[in-house]
């Protein structure tokens, strides 16, 4: 009981100290780019940007202050939160289809695009990977010659967060299919009991659990026949997974190009760099580290709050998605659907999200940095004879360290003779695919044109 109280207090304390810092630590939230309505609002937005740029430990504050400020932190009306809980109990799948139905080609096709949800079984226990597939109404090439773009989300997220990318990225010359998947144990994929516990189990065993299922998905979806026609775009912790995936399946590649979108776990912070953000970083308190390692997170709070879960989720979702409105009342339906979708995946049984404590230390430091595991020393031999292409994307207000990407990209170009490029997305934070979706989509289209 005491642990749950401390979790609630620390999470709410984090939220009050900086809007939804508790969620930000776990999902990499960043401030939106909505135009402010007043100078005061501009100052507030600028402050939020600075606060959310890098993860930091929460500060304990008096309980009376928490209670006083709670009503304004979670804007979802209570009656709507109760309704969301009831709807989730009746039919949780409806939250996903409700969001996808805001697209002009789902569930009914448009003049150029078809789409469908697919569940692909990926293990002997019948667990499946959930996929949203977009394909041309009239393909210009035989099915075997289609090119494929695969979207993979990050920690605590799901395929629905790419809604603005699904809508605007064209299936160039009707030669492309877009596949967005929920990682094993995430989103609307199966949520089996996670078979590992930190620190009892080894991170490599955990990674194998994910990689085998992802590889099975590629195989069953017939994407291994011509990997040179495949692009994978992975975000945050999904980037970390997919980079290490190359090491495991070096002799059976699944794709040619990997676009790492605000990747997690690239390198350790350089505490000798003199960088102002690094200098401000302070290690989190021991008790918060304990909660992190035990996978007690804000999602735990949502799941145990029943009728209040959607209201608590709104403290993150309303802030994160508010910029899609941008004064457009036609987007209000999508905004509502995005919130309900976020609530639904936060509220579902915890499973794949427990990878976090194996991959990252509390505060975001990697336990097994990609720079050491994949790109340096003898481990780099895995990539020497390959022809992979790399694109590293960072928001200009990202809390992920672009210096790690720059350093590894140079190593790839100079030592491993692979094509690698680092691009900064303006007016964007960690969720840059959503923050500046037009710029992001233009990059994706340019990479598609090169295939």
pLDDT one-digit tens code per residue, 190-208:
999 999 999 999 999 999 9
* Boundaries of domain holding 199: 94-271+355-449
393 in a structural domain: yes
The reported pLDDT for the residue numbered 11 is 45
Residue 213 contacts residue 184 (beta carbons within 8 Å):
yes
CA dihedral 300, 310, 31, 106 (to 10 degrees): 110
- Residues 109-130 have pLDDT tens digits of 999 999 999 999 999 999 999 9
Task: Look at residue 187 and tell me whether its pLDDT is greater than 60.
Answer: yes
pTM higher than 0.75 for the full model? yes
The reported pLDDT for the residue numbered 30 is 37
In terms of pLDDT, which residue wins out, 390 or 379?
390
64 in a structural domain: no
Residues marked as catalytic: 236, 398, 430
Per the structure, the count of domains in the chain is 1
Query: In whole angstroms, what is the distance from residue 57 CA to residue 181 CA?
Result: 32
Confidence of residue 61 (pLDDT cuts 50, 70, 90): very low
Q: Which has the closest alpha carbon to 30: 52, 58, 50?
A: 52
46 in a structural domain: no
Q: What is the largest CA-CA distance in the chain?
A: 65
Task: Look at residue 148 and tell me whether its pLDDT is greater than 70.
Answer: yes
Confidence of residue 407 (pLDDT cuts 50, 70, 90): very high
- Residues 93-112 have pLDDT tens digits of 999 999 999 999 999 999 99
Task: Look at residue 351 and tell me whether its pLDDT is greater than 50.
Answer: yes
Query: In whole angstroms, what is the distance from residue 163 CA to residue 178 CA?
Result: 12
In terms of pLDDT, which residue wins out, 443 or 17?
443
3-state SS of 350-369 is CCHHHHHHHHECCCCCECCC
99 in a structural domain: yes
The enclosing domain of 189 has a CATH number of: 3.40.50.1820
Q: Which has the closest alpha carbon to 165: 393, 418, 417, 422?
A: 393
Which two structure tokens, joined as six digits, stand for 215?
């590889």
In terms of pLDDT, which residue wins out, 98 or 57?
98
Of all residues in the chain, what percent carry a pLDDT higher than 70?
81
Task: Look at residue 29 and tell me whether its pLDDT is greater than 70.
Answer: no
- Residues 283-333 have pLDDT tens digits of 778 887 888 888 888 899 999 999 999 999 999 999 889 888 777 777 899
Cis omega before residue 107 (within 30°)? yes
Instruction: Kindly report the length of the chain.
Output: 451
441 in a structural domain: yes
Kindly report the average pLDDT of the chain as a whole number.
Answer: 84
The reported pLDDT for the residue numbered 274 is 56
18 in a structural domain: no
127 in a structural domain: yes
243 in a structural domain: yes
The reported pLDDT for the residue numbered 333 is 92
Query: In whole angstroms, what is the distance from residue 410 CA to residue 420 CA?
Result: 8
């Amino acid at each position: 009981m005491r642990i749950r109280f401390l979790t609630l207090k620390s999470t709410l304390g984090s939220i009050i100290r900086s809007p939804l810092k508790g969620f930000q630590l776990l999902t990499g939230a960043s401030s939106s780019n909505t135009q402010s309505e007043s100078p005061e609002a501009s100052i507030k937005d600028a402050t939020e940007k600075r606060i959310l740029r890098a993860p930091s430990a929460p500060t304990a504050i008096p309980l009376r202050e928490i209670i006083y400020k709670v009503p304004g932190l979670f804007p979802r009306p209570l009656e709507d939160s109760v309704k969301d809980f009831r709807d989730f109990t009746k039919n949780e799948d409806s939250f996903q289809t409700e969001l996808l139905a805001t697209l002009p080609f789902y569930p009914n096709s448009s003049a150029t695009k078809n789409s469908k949800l697919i569940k692909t079984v990926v293990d002997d226990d019948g667990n499946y990977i959930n996929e949203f597939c977009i394909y041309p109404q009239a393909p210009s090439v035989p099915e075997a010659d289609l090119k494929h773009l695969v979207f993979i989300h990050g920690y605590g997220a799901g395929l629905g967060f790419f809604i603005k990318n699904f809508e605007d990225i064209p299936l160039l010359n009707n030669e492309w299919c877009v596949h967005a998947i929920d990682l094993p144990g995430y989103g609307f994929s199966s949520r089996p009991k996670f078979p590992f516990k930190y620190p009892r189990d080894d991170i490599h065993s955990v990674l194998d659990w994910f990689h085998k299922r992802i590889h099975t998905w590629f195989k069953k979806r017939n994407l291994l026949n011509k990997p040179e026609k495949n692009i994978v775009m992975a975000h945050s912790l999904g980037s970390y997974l997919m980079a290490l995936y190359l090491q495991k399946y070096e002799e059976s590649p699944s794709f040619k190009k990997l676009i790492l979108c605000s990747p997690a776990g690239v390198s350790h912070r350089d505490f000798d760099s003199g960088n102002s953000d690094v200098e401000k970083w302070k290690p989190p308190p021991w008790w918060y580290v304990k909660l992190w390692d035990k996978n007690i997170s804000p999602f735990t709070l949502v799941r145990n709050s029943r009728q209040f879960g959607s209201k608590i989720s709104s403290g993150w979702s309303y802030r994160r998605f508010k910029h899609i409105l941008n004064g457009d009342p036609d987007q209000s339906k999508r905004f509502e659907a995005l919130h309900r979708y976020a609530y639904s995946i936060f509220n579902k049984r915890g499973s794949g999200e427990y990878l976090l404590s194996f991959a990252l230390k509390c505060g975001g430091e990697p336990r097994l940095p990609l720079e050491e595991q994949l790109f340096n020393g003898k481990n780099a031999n895995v990539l020497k004879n390959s022809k992979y292409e790399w694109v590293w994307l960072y928001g200009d207000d990202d809390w992920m360290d672009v210096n790690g990407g720059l350093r590894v990209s140079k190593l790839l170009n100079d030592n491993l003779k692979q094509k690698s490029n680092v691009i900064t997305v303006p007016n964007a934070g960690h969720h840059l695919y959503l923050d500046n979706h037009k710029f992001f989509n233009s990059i994706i289209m340019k990479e598609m044109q090169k295939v």
